[in-house]
Amino acid sequence: LPEASHTFVFDTAFHQTMPEENYIYPIPYEYYEKDHIRRYGMHGTSHKYLTERLAEILDKPVEEMNIITCHLGNGGSITAVKNGKSFKTSMGFTPLSGIMMGTRSGDIDPAILVYLQKQYGYTAQELDDILNKKSGMLGVSGISSDSRDIENAAEEGNERAILTQKIFADRIIETVAGYYGLMGGADAIVFAGGIGENAAGVREMVCDGLKAIGVELDHEKNNVRGREVLLSPEDAKVKVWLIPTNEEVVLARDAYKDLLNA
């Protein structure tokens, strides 16, 4: 396609506004200087879309948006958006960190890797496979990496499926509450992604665990899938929104802007 222009849109781009204290890891600083080891974050196109879309819905300048966006799918990340910009996000140097995911562990004690290597002689590649492909919901439940399968098993009383749901919700709760504290409050929480948009039970567990920071959920409104809707009462201190994400439109808009500036 010799006449076509090519635009690269990086999934990390939205997170380049994070302050230094939120992307530097507490390891020897030389690894940041020499090897660029830092928090980069992922799902930037999704978190950007959710921020801008909520600003449109509320008819509010994006610079006035202090929200927490939850992109929950087989991979998942949570972002604190302060004044319309990424302030902190749960994924880090790689997409492995943060909350529990379908097959990814999320944050764990790093010494576990050292222990497993000494105990079983695992190679670096084997440890990478364990954490990325055999952990998370699949690893804990022993059933599946699909939250729908976990939900069905939990309803049948499977104890490990129930445990998996609790761990998943707890990780989201502690991340959202932590970001709420770091930003000094938030006006809204937004759910998106395959799980965030379709799993009413997950949204309920998370919101019930966030009552201490003023989160309220209208359980009747929450009985919905994949549709833009306010899930909390109108007078809730922290509003809860469901907004189906649209990463493709962000890519198209960025490519269009790039073409105009070429």
Residues 162-207 pLDDT 10s: 999 999 999 999 999 999 999 999 999 999 999 999 999 999 999 9
112 vs 118: CA distance, rounded Å: 10
Amino acid at 200: A
Q: Which of 197-206, 209-218, 250-259 shows the lowest per-residue confidence on average (mean pLDDT)?
A: 250-259
235 vs 160: CA distance, rounded Å: 37
Q: Supply the Cα-derived Rg of the chain in whole angstroms.
A: 19
Is 11 catalytic? The answer is: yes
Q: With contact defined as beta carbons under 8 Å apart, do 39 and 22 qualify?
A: yes
Distance in angstroms between the alpha carbons of the first and the last residue of the chain: 18
Q: Give the predicted TM-score (pTM) of the model.
A: 0.95
Query: Can you state the angle between helices 159-183 and 147-155, rounded to 10 degrees?
Result: 120
pLDDT band for 261, please (50, 70, 90 cuts). confident
What is the tens place of the pLDDT at every residue in 44-75? Answer: 999 999 999 999 999 999 999 999 999 999 99
Residue 105: pLDDT above 80? yes
Residue 5: pLDDT above 90? no
136 vs 171: CA distance, rounded Å: 11
74 vs 144: CA distance, rounded Å: 11
- What is the model's pLDDT at position 259? 83
175 vs 97: CA distance, rounded Å: 12
What is the tens place of the pLDDT at every residue in 223-240? Answer: 999 999 999 999 999 999
Q: Which fold has domain 13-102+146-261?
A: Nucleotidyltransferase; domain 5 (3.30.420)
Q: Phi and psi for 231 in degrees, rounded to 5?
A: -95, -5
Every domain of the chain and the residues it spans: 13-102+146-261
Residue 258: pLDDT above 90? no
Q: Name the more confident of 13 and 262.
A: 13
Q: With contact defined as beta carbons under 8 Å apart, do 223 and 100 qualify?
A: no
**Percent of the chain beyond pLDDT 90?**
93
- What is the model's pLDDT at position 4? 83
